[in-house]
Structures are given as C-alpha cells and as structure tokens.
Amino acid sequence: MTTGKVRLSVLDTAPIVQGSTPKQALEHTADLAVLADSLGYHRYWVPEHHGMRGVASSAPAVLVGHLAQVTRHLRVGAGGVLLPNHAPLVVAEQFGTLAALHPGRIDLGIGRAPGGPPAAVAAVRSGRTAGPFRAQVEELRAYLAEEAEVPAIPVVGGNAPALWLLGRSGDSAGLAAELGLPYAFAHHLTPDLRPAALVSVSVIAAHTDERAEWLAGSTRMKVHSRLRGHRIQLPSPEDAGHYDSPVTGARVLCGSPETLLPRLQTVLDGTGADELMITTPVYHHEDRRRSYELLAPLATRLRSATFG
C-alpha cells in the first residue's frame, strides 16, 4: 500500500580514515552536506561519539551549526545527542540556539548509548550520574516546551528543534510510541525490522555491483578486525583487497542503483518508514560523493509502505 513519497537523508560520522586527519574529515563532512543539499536530500544528521580515533563527530551541536550555515535547504541535526552524557537544560539551550538561528531546519535526535569507550564516557560525564532515561527525555521536553521552572532561554518564542528518539531495540521503539515522538531506527546497527518513521541504513552505491563490492571491502575489513578485538581506522579498498582473513560481518547494502532499489524497498516494506537515512562507509571521499549522487534519483522510484 503506497502511503507517500520516500525521502532520502544522510547520516555522517565524519569518518577519519587511515592516513587522514580530523580536520580533513570535518572538511569532507561539510563538502558532502553541500552536495546533499544540491541533490535534494531531506536531512543531514551527525552523531555523538567520544574517544574514537576513526570518528571526528564528537560535538554535534557545534558541527550542526556549521553545516546549517553552509547549506540552504537541508534539515540539519544530531543523530543523535546521547542524553545520559548531558544535563537536559544544556541540550535544550544548545539546540534552542541553533533553532533560533536556523528556523525550521534543526532536528534533535536523542539516544541513550554511551557513545565511546568507558574511560571517554567517564570523562564526558565527569562524575555525573544520569537518572532514568525516560525521566531525562521528559525533562528535556519540558525545557523545549518552555514549561520548566528554569527556562531554556533560547527556546522562548517557539525556537525549539524537532525532537526525535533514536534506538535499535523494542524498548526504544516502545518508549517513542508512549511519548508520541517520531522514532529513528538504526537498521545499520541492528538489522531486525521494526516500525519506524525513519530508518538508517548502511549503503554503498557504484556504477557496477563489482565496484560497490570492492569498495565495501574497507568496512568489512574494519568490522572483522573489531570482532577480533583490534580496532582500526577505515582502510583503503586496496589494503582490504590484500587482507588474508575472511572479511564478513559488516551490515552494508552494496551494488548498482538497480541492484539496490529492491533491497532498499524491502527495508521500507519491513518498517513502514517513509524516510531512509543513508550512511556510506567508504574510504575515498570522491567514492562517497559518487555513491550519494547515484542514490539520489531513487527517491522518486521508492515507495513507502504500511508496516505489517
């Protein structure tokens, strides 16, 4: 059953690949956001990670402000802010400021994951003990609705971002339903299909299936190394091609646009979503740009479907 137009969006961790620097990663993120804006993508989200050598997106509020400044039409946001790491008032103030500066374009996705190794998370929280997640979400919502005893001043006057709940479990989906919040499901982390308004999926597109599979060797090698207890930055596909162990375990859809079309439709049919948020884990920035260029026309060929 067709229910409406499918939107395509971008999830970008600002990956620091082998041989690159955090500055280059952030510059590539800004460049990709400008490209996505010109191609008609709907949203551009960046996550919160700490202490990870391969991820430059550690301060989403700062990065969101920059991306909103260099783009014109995209909704820009956090995918997401990890609420147990922060005081809800500070999050409301940060994203209320962004919403005041960029009206109608700021999203605030929130999650409960730690976002990094224990030592990094402990440093972020600095001895602060987070309360129950639901209570934190409700406190944040009160600030965004201007109802708290201590107001989040930038929010006053209607400057609130759009609030989303992020997750990859039935508990998160149930909480979103109870609170009446839109739910973004991390299919790229947990491939089980769940009802969601937005589904993030790992996709690599190229002109041929063979090229896409070759590019996917980078993320497969990285995942396989992590499963063996050795964390590495994303290697080049050339290096991955010489890897002498099986490279399996990466949850990534790859192929030409014609190959990917039915696979992406299966994700939509299984979740009832009307929006796919795509993350593309490839080594060379030009290959990442080209993947999003090839995927953009699929927005008019995909259809959203009622879950179940």
Residue range 9-40, pLDDT digits in tens? 999 999 999 999 999 999 999 999 999 999 99
Q: Residue 125: how many CB atoms within 10 A of its CB? A: 15
pLDDT value at position 1? 36
Q: Which pLDDT value is given to residue 224? A: 87
- 104 Cβ partners below 8 Å, 6+ apart? none
Tell me the C-alpha distance between 68 and 54, whole Å. Answer: 23
Model pLDDT for residues 224-243, shown as the tens digit of each residue: 888 888 889 999 999 998 76
Would you tell me how many other CB atoms lie within 10 Å of the CB of residue 42?
Answer: 19
* Predicted local distance difference test score (pLDDT) of residue 306: 57
The DSSP code sequence of 41-96 is --EEEE----S-TTB----HHHHHHHHHHH-SS-EEEEEEEEGGGS-HHHHHHHHH
Q: What is the model's pLDDT at position 242?
A: 76
Q: What are phi and psi of 35, to 5 degrees?
A: -65, -45
Could you give phi then psi for residue 37, rounded to 5 degrees? Answer: -60, -45
Residues of the chain with pLDDT under 50: 1-2, 308
Asked if 110 and 166 count as a contact pair (C-beta separation under 8 A), the reply is yes
Sign of the four-CA dihedral 118, 94, 103, 27: negative
pLDDT at 189: 67
